[in-house]
Amino acid sequence: MDVALERRTAVARPRTNRKLERDEVAELVRRYRQGATVYELAEEFGMHRQTVSAHLHREGVALRSRVQMTPQLLARATELYEAGWSTVQIGKELGLGTSTVGKALKRAGVQMRAPVAKGWQ
């Protein structure tokens, strides 16, 4: 089979929905309450983030709002970036998205380093 056709065929297949067992739902709730994000749980349980949110909602769990950049977080992000941390590392450390960190640093006038491409050595 042609490689390009094989890729298109693989991409075109619909994703099967995976029904969580009762103990899996309990584990999902437990992990969320311990601080895991909806995005982390979606990856871990192999489902969409909205499905994770729906499970949590059905279990009566109040969803946390996404962390927003505050002046204190910006100061810490600036400090870490100037110490050599990447925006990815800072985002994980502060519970923020990578793009949120990068945009906030740029708006604050921080001199940004050239991005490092993954996989290139």
Walk along the chain (121 residues) and give the pLDDT tens digit of each residue: 454 445 444 444 455 667 899 999 999 999 988 878 888 899 999 999 899 999 999 999 988 776 778 899 999 999 999 999 999 899 888 888 888 899 999 999 999 998 776 655 5
What is this structure's pTM? 0.47
Task: Answer whether residue 48 is part of any domain.
Answer: yes
Domain tally for the chain? Answer: 2
SS (H, E, C) the chain: CCHHHHHHHHHHCCCCCCCCCHHHHHHHHHHHHCCCCHHHHHHHHCCCHHHHHHHHHHCCCCCCCCCCCCHHHHHHHHHHHHCCCCHHHHHHHHCCCHHHHHHHHHHCCCCCCCCCCCCCC
Structural domain harbouring 7: 3-58
Task: Answer whether residue 118 is part of any domain.
Answer: no
